[in-house]
Structure 1
Amino acid sequence: MRKIFAIIKYDILANKSSKYIMTILFYPIVLTLVLGFVLKNVFYSNYEMEKVKVYYVSDGKEASAQFLDVFKSLQGKIDFDMEKVQDINEANEKIGKNYDSLAISFTDKEVKVYRNNNGSVSTEIVYGVLNTIADKFNVMYSIEKINPGAIGNIDFSKVQKDFTDFKKIELKREMTSYDYYGVAEFTMIIMYISLFSLGIVNTQRRNGTEGRIFLAGVSKLQYIISRILSMTIFNMVLMTVPFIILKEIIGIYYGTDLLTLFTIFITLNLFAAALGVTFGFLFKEERVANTMIQAVVIPALTFLGGGYVYFGDNIPFVFDLITKFSPLRWANRSIINMIYGGDYSKVSTSVAINLTLTLILILISYLKIKGEEKLS
């Protein structure tokens, strides 16, 4: 472990590329301001919230009616229609065919909310609202199971008033073009760390540092991991500067859960750093590897991730499938859904994709180094 820390320290102190530092500091700010302004009208026309269909199965009891009254009271703030169905199977069949729909079920004194995993941003917003109400009512049901008479003392009208006032404040926040590109351009710039982890690998191979490190007893795996960690740490520290400027000075809204937000950023940094290291081992010519990353890989992943042009939810199925090959698409969607819909369902997928790709790239790098060792 001490050897890894020593390499990380060396990399961080040795990395004094002014071009890299200027890119990280200013690109996300400039691109957010430019794209946010230029594409403002296009963005609003694409993002206009669509009407969400809500199917519900009610047991006809008082608590179910109270729940529906609370939810219906929000129709002036969010756009949705409600339709009663016979059972939850019918509801699930309907939401399976319609992405902009949800289902609510009241069974055995429990509220359950169902949705299609491919739901639009509009659906995610309504889903977040429904989940918040459901949490309140499920707590009440739990109380009644312990003390059957207690629920009769709960003032449902007060719960409705408290919740409506709370959501009235929350729902005033709408995503602007600047907010969207404040996320999309920030994740895009993270990908440029791959160019500099590539540079570190090639520089140390040219000056013989890599060989001396191996002679000092550092294993191949330790060497690869230290390269990735050094650039990830350096990049995360450096990117706090544009993040603070975007958030506090320009006013980009990143939500309140910064821990989850930075978890996504960190894992994306790991993937980007691993990408550069792997390309450094795969291509003998640094210029070829640099061109591949800068002219092919980053633009492709950024485009599919919505970094250049905002992709709405109603895009063709085939293209939607292709966009899912981009880690940036998962990162951007998970962040947007978390901030504006209170939906964390895509966060774990985004983090898992980033970590899985990082491990795959580490394995490729390791096999490449071992293969070179055998040839020599």
Structure 2
Amino acid sequence: MNVWRIAMKELMTSRDPAMLIFMLATPVLLILILGSVLSGNFNGKEAVGTVRVLYSASGDEAAKEHWESWIGRSIDETGGLEGTERGDREIIVKGIAFDEAKMGEQAAIDEVKNGGYIGYATIGDEGIRYYGNDRIGAENAIVQGLLSAYADHRKLSLVLPEAAGAAEGAASSGEHFETRMLQAPPKPNAIDYYSVAVTTMIIMYISMTAGLLIENERVRHTANRLLVAPVTKAEIFAGKITGSLLLHLFFVILIVLLSKYMYGADWGDNPVMVLLVLASQIVFAISLGLGSSYMLGSKASGAVIMTIIQLAALFGGSYFQNVDNGDFFSKLTRLSPLDWTNDGLLSVIYGGVESPIGGMSAEYAAILLNMGFSVLFLAAAIGIMRRKEGL
């Protein structure tokens, strides 16, 4: 009961209004700024307009028919582009327009050189020849990929007698092949990522105020009054931590809701687990502040904690997304509490995140690490407090 009363007193007492505003306004602005300025780093798509390619099909009639039937089937499956007519020999597959060349080979190549078309492809008995404009790399890669897929398709149709229609009553070659699109796992965009990264970074700043939880009682000369009250040091300590946890958890929930409904940030469909990971980090930050305050003193601990926060933010992906390349820097990121907490949250939201602890999911590993280090810092603070006469 005494613990709850002390916790409520912490909630009702306005500590530092400027710090509370900082805890709420700063992350909301940082999410917007970083998410807007660095959005290009998270855009895995490149807009490409209609890719126009000249082609000529000659030689064996079967090869020519296979080429045109293959493209026609692709149109039927993908829908092509609205308003395209196949009768005029312009065929569009997934944004690629194939125009049959009405001129000679050299004239078609000149059209490519002049930028009128991306490339020129010839399909005949000798195979496929492709002349591409190397100044347009992305579109060229698209066309070459499509032609390679066709070449593989043609080879299979010649190898399989059924696909070639050799057997009497055999099905057409198109029925023996199936094309499937594999959808990549979802990934965060810039707003999604920085909503997570900035929130966890701001939580680390809680350790700055947590180090003053007991020091403020000494400054206000209320420490002695607490000691003579019918409460134990353990109850005072637990009440302070509980009140600080509830206060900062409230602000963190506000940050999550603001980023979700103001910017459309994706926090997943498991809010309970997200809240547990964030709560474990808040406990870690409070424990870090209290432990450092008792071990180093309130003045020295402030500088040490600020250094820890900046290093944790740098190596933990608060300013840019970490990529594990196996180098020394990648190994350093694993030492940052922000790294394993961010991984835990991204694992809850998107899944597929590697855990720092083998055999355990990233979110549970984050909770375990945060709470484990919290126990160490709190044990150190409690041990030192018990040996002191006052708080």
**TM-score normalised by the chain length of structure 1:** 0.61
CA spacing shift, 1:305–1:216, aligned 2, 3 Å: same
- The corresponding residue for 1:30 is 29
- The alignment status of 1:180 with 2:179, answered yes or no, reads no
- The corresponding residue for 2:17 is 18
Matched positions, count: 251
CA distance in 2, matches of 1:180, 1:41: 13
**Residues 222-257 of structure 1 deviation map (CA, whole Å, 9 limit, x = unaligned):** 322222221110011122222111001211111111
One-letter amino acid of the counterpart of residue 288, structure 1: A
- The corresponding residue for 1:271 is 284
Q: Is the 8 A contact 1:190 1:268 kept in 2?
A: yes
1:210 offset after TM fit, Å? 2.4
**Residues 322-369 of structure 1 deviation map (CA, whole Å, 9 limit, x = unaligned):** 222222111101211222226681111110111111111111101111
Q: Which runs of 4+ in 1 moved over 6 A?
A: none
CA distance in 1, matches of 2:351, 2:186: 11
Q: Is the 8 A contact 2:31 2:195 kept in 1?
A: yes
- The corresponding residue for 1:360 is 376
Q: Is the 8 A contact 1:227 1:277 kept in 2?
A: no
1:273 offset after TM fit, Å? 1.1
Q: Is the 8 A contact 1:224 1:365 kept in 2?
A: no
- The alignment status of 1:300 with 2:299, answered yes or no, reads no
- The alignment status of 1:310 with 2:310, answered yes or no, reads no
CA spacing shift, 1:329–1:243, aligned 2, 3 Å: same
Counterpart selection for 2:236 from 216, 223, 238: 223
1:218 offset after TM fit, Å? 2.7
CA distance in 2, matches of 1:172, 1:226: 44
Counterpart selection for 2:389 from 354, 368, 373: 373
CA distance in 2, matches of 1:174, 1:275: 32
Q: Is the 8 A contact 2:323 2:330 kept in 1?
A: no
- The alignment status of 1:335 with 2:345, answered yes or no, reads yes
Q: Is the 8 A contact 1:335 1:347 kept in 2?
A: yes
CA spacing shift, 1:202–1:9, aligned 2, 3 Å: same
**Residues 74-112 of structure 1 deviation map (CA, whole Å, 9 limit, x = unaligned):** xxxxxxxxxxxxxxxxxxxxxxxxxxxxxxxxxxxxxxx
Task: Give the unaligned 5+ runs of structure 2.
Answer: 45-179, 354-359
CA distance in 1, matches of 2:376, 2:220: 28
SS in 2 for 1:237: helix
CA distance in 1, matches of 2:294, 2:13: 20
CA distance in 1, matches of 2:381, 2:299: 19
Seq. identity, % = 23
- The corresponding residue for 1:247 is 260
SS in 2 for 1:252: coil
One-letter amino acid of the counterpart of residue 189, structure 2: T
1:259 offset after TM fit, Å? 0.6
- The corresponding residue for 1:153 is none
Highest Rg: 1 or 2?
2
CA distance in 2, matches of 1:269, 1:198: 13
Matches for 1:255-266 after TM superposition, within 5 Å:
255-266=268-279
CA RMSD between the two structures: 2.6
SS in 2 for 1:312: coil
One-letter amino acid of the counterpart of residue 336, structure 2: S
- The corresponding residue for 2:88 is none
1:203 offset after TM fit, Å? 1.0
**Residues 153-177 of structure 1 deviation map (CA, whole Å, 9 limit, x = unaligned):** xxxxxxxxxxx99x96xx6854211
- The corresponding residue for 2:222 is 209
Q: Is the 8 A contact 2:191 2:263 kept in 1?
A: no
- The corresponding residue for 2:137 is none
1:258 offset after TM fit, Å? 0.6
SS in 2 for 1:272: helix
Q: Is the 8 A contact 2:194 2:318 kept in 1?
A: yes
- The corresponding residue for 1:192 is 205
**TM-score normalised by the chain length of structure 2:** 0.59
- The corresponding residue for 2:154 is none
- The corresponding residue for 1:73 is none
